[in-house]
């Protein structure tokens, strides 16, 4: 009996010690891996600078456009350079994306936490643009906002890993998107951890963030920390074969698009001529950041 009385506390102490050791070991390892990472709050000047580089220096990014392949390769280099070890400090991983006419355009993944969590938030950002606009301003606004959000999330204490997914064919032809969607689905379905997938749309306009409310059970529509304007697919006014979020949803993934709509309908070419004020695009980045933090800090989604 004496042996049993002594054994139980020892077992509890040993198991508890192992648990604490594992917790602090992985926490310390993550801190060491991020020691070169650089966090910065949303910066208006940097945001607008990235937007102008994409729209005016790189330009339209679609394989159907003249020089579209070169523009996409330059955009992929900008993603890798901006988020990588020598800049923000993230490990940028490449996954085979699109292969066409000898041009290789990878999918990029970036993890805010350098470890797996039971639940994950995915932010999907197409780095191409529609074929009918010369600057690709709407998608450029999403890209520049995603860079700012990624930098602001460096080292943040969050419960759920945030994974950025930069894809080269959100606006590609149907056959190319089918292949790309299959690859994205395989990435997102691993372990069943993807609890919310947000496709980042245009951030060119002022006002609250909107989301296409095709599945009211998704965490974005349940959370109450950040006000979201819910719109129907018909109100959004885009064809399903263009909207990447709809195609992911049809494959059984918890996907929706978040965007900042214009007050009135605009012709694509007119909207593409917009260069938003620095304060406007920074305000939209702040909204996206608050939303991502809200979802990432939730213990149960």
- What residue segments make up the domains of the chain, in order of their start? 38-297
The DSSP element (H or E) to which 126 belongs, if any, is strand 120-126
Strand order in the sheet with 194-200: 92-100, 103-111, 161-167, 120-126, 194-200, 255-259, 210-212, 229-231
Half-sphere exposure at residue 105, Cβ-oriented, CA atoms within 13 angstroms? 31
Query: What is the DSSP secondary structure assignment for residue 168, as one 8-state letter?
Result: S
Q: What is the pLDDT of residue 11?
A: 44
DSSP string, 217-232: TSHHHH--SS--EEE-
- In this structure, what are the phi and psi dihedrals at residue 271, rounded to the nearest 5 degrees? -65, -35
Prediction pTM value: 0.86
The backbone torsions φ and ψ at residue 3, rounded to the nearest 5 degrees and listed phi first, read -60, -40
pLDDT at residue 235, rounded to an integer: 74
pLDDT for res 149: 98
What is the CATH code of the structural domain delimited by 38-297? Answer: 3.40.630.10
**Residue 40: predicted pLDDT:** 78
Instruction: Find out whether 78 and 53 touch, Cβ atoms under 8 Å.
Output: yes
Residues 257, 198: contact at Cβ < 8 Å?
Answer: yes
Inter-residue contact 107 to 149 (CB < 8 Å) = no
Would you give per-residue pLDDT tens digits along the chain (301 residues)?
444 444 445 444 444 445 444 444 444 444 444 444 566 789 999 999 999 999 999 999 999 999 999 999 999 999 999 999 999 999 999 999 998 888 899 999 999 998 889 999 999 999 999 999 999 999 999 999 999 999 999 988 899 999 999 999 999 988 899 999 999 999 998 778 899 999 999 999 999 999 988 788 899 998 888 889 998 877 776 544 458 998 999 899 999 999 999 988 899 999 999 999 999 999 999 999 999 999 999 877 6
């Amino acid at each position: 009996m004496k042996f049993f009385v002594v054994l139980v506390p020892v077992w509890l102490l040993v198991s508890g010690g192992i648990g604490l050791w594992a917790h602090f070991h992985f926490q310390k390892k993550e801190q060491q891996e991020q020691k070169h990472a650089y966090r910065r709050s949303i910066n208006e000047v940097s945001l607008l600078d990235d937007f102008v580089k994409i729209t005016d220096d790189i330009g339209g990014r679609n394989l159907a456009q003249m020089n579209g392949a070169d523009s996409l390769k330059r955009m992929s280099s900008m993603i890798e350079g901006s988020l990588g070890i020598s800049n923000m400090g993230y490990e940028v991983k490449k996954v085979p994306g699109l292969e066409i006419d000898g041009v290789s355009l990878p999918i990029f993944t970036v993890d805010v936490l350098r470890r797996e969590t039971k639940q994950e938030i995915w932010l999907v950002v197409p780095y191409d643009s529609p074929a009918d606009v010369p600057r690709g301003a709407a998608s450029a606004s999403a890209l520049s906002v995603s860079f700012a959000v990624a930098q602001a999330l460096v080292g943040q204490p969050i419960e759920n890993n945030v994974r950025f997914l930069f894809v080269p064919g959100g606006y590609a032809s149907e056959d190319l998107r089918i292949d790309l969607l299959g690859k994205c689905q395989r990435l997102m379905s691993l372990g069943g951890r993807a609890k919310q997938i947000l496709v980042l749309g245009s951030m060119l306009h002022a006002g609250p963030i909107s989301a296409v409310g095709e599945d009211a059970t998704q965490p974005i529509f349940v959370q109450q920390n950040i006000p979201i304007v819910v719109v129907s697919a018909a109100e959004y006014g885009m064809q399903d074969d263009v909207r990447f979020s709809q195609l992911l949803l049809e494959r059984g993934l918890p996907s929706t698009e978040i965007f900042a709509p214009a007050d009135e309908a605009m012709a694509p070419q007119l909207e593409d001529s917009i260069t938003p004020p620095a304060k406007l695009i920074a305000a939209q980045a702040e909204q996206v950041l608050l939303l991502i933090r809200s979802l990432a800090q939730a213990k149960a989604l």
